[in-house]
Structure 1
């Protein structure tokens, strides 16, 4: 039995060169737990092509997205974050979400976009490496950088490019998708291949908690 934790969907930002593997765990398990996942693109009428060559027809346009209509905004990595300001509107939308008290989760190159927008300043965060963020114009959050797989500070979740499972764990914790014991077991199974976590998840599934 899945649990519908919110009548507001989770929004996944999509754009050309988006790193599709970085959010697979997050969106798949949110869907299993009753969340609706909707994709938003800068132009909601045109398909985007992921870094893996998958074409996505977005559900809507970024300009039409209001934080009040969402549970979470997910920003994934993409080559475009490092080649110009084409994705700046997505960082601006993240600023709207954070100002409204609605969570934002950013992984890989999306953290650079948030750094350039000043959204990491004053918030604990992580990324691929401190030097990567230090190269971003306007970034002044070096003192808040944390050497960790993924970090949550209030409504902001960040992770480096090699940590899609830890990224998902932080999202699940922020949205209260699983209880602490089940979340720990989920992480141990998918990150560490710990077989002892499987019975915990099976028992939780029988209760409707996973």
Structure 2
């Protein structure tokens, strides 16, 4: 399996949503590369942080990746500018390569038809219902959902999102994954020792 994870980046990206996942993937030996509409083109996050893209979306190939991570962004609800990223998610899922989407990116996947037949979550069910998608019966009101190769989460659940990503890619498993989650979600001091044992 490739050890490169691709993080989609675009203007208005929600900074807080993928930091736990990407940082701990990197600490676990994965390489995180940014992918945008064009290589070497900077994007500006909601916080005003500028990120330089490593790779163009046109050059992104599922076979070169362990996972595609799609953060939320205001642009997911402001038109079709990010639709090419949802189309890339389709290519990844069709190739059997995992996709993880949080917040507004779940609406992009809904518009692409990728949530019609998969268990999923988001901010709230009526947010996705507003897209006109056909997957409402598969909506699960929980922190994060993994269905096969697809992970979804709402905007207030970056730690649960990261737990699913880290588990899916085997960065942590079993007791270590549980300890990681208890440390960062529950602030359980005992989990620190378990994680670093």
**CA apart distance, 1:21:** 1.1
1:99 aligns with 2:110: no
Pick aligned residue for 2:179 from 185, 188, 202: 185
**CA apart distance, 1:45:** 3.2
* CA 8–197 in structure 1, closer or farther in 2 if over 3 Å, else same: closer
**CA apart distance, 1:46:** 1.5
* CA 187–48 in structure 1, closer or farther in 2 if over 3 Å, else same: same
Under a length normalisation based on structure 2, what TM-score does the superposition of the two structures give?
0.98
Matches within 5 A, 1:20-31: 20-31=15-26
Coordinate RMSD, CA, aligned: 0.8
Matches within 5 A, 1:1-16: 6-16=1-11
1:35 aligns with 2:17: no
**CA apart distance, 1:7:** 4.0
CA distance, structure 2, for counterparts of residue 18 and residue 168 of structure 1: 17
Q: State the partner residue of 2:134.
A: 140
Runs of 4+ in 1 over 6 A off after TM superposition: none
Q: What secondary structure sits across from 2:68 in the alignment?
A: strand
CA distance, structure 2, for counterparts of residue 199 and residue 23 of structure 1: 24
Under a length normalisation based on structure 1, what TM-score does the superposition of the two structures give?
0.92
Render the CA deviation track for 1:89-143: whole Å, top value 9, x for unaligned.
0000000000000000000000000000000011000000000000003x00000
Pick aligned residue for 2:47 from 34, 46, 52: 52
1:172 aligns with 2:162: no
CA distance, structure 2, for counterparts of residue 8 and residue 30 of structure 1: 9
CA distance, structure 2, for counterparts of residue 7 and residue 17 of structure 1: 29
Unaligned runs of 5+ in 1: 1-5, 204-210
CA distance, structure 1, for counterparts of residue 196 and residue 88 of structure 2: 38
Unaligned runs of 5+ in 2: none
Q: State the partner residue of 1:161.
A: 155
Aligned residues: 197
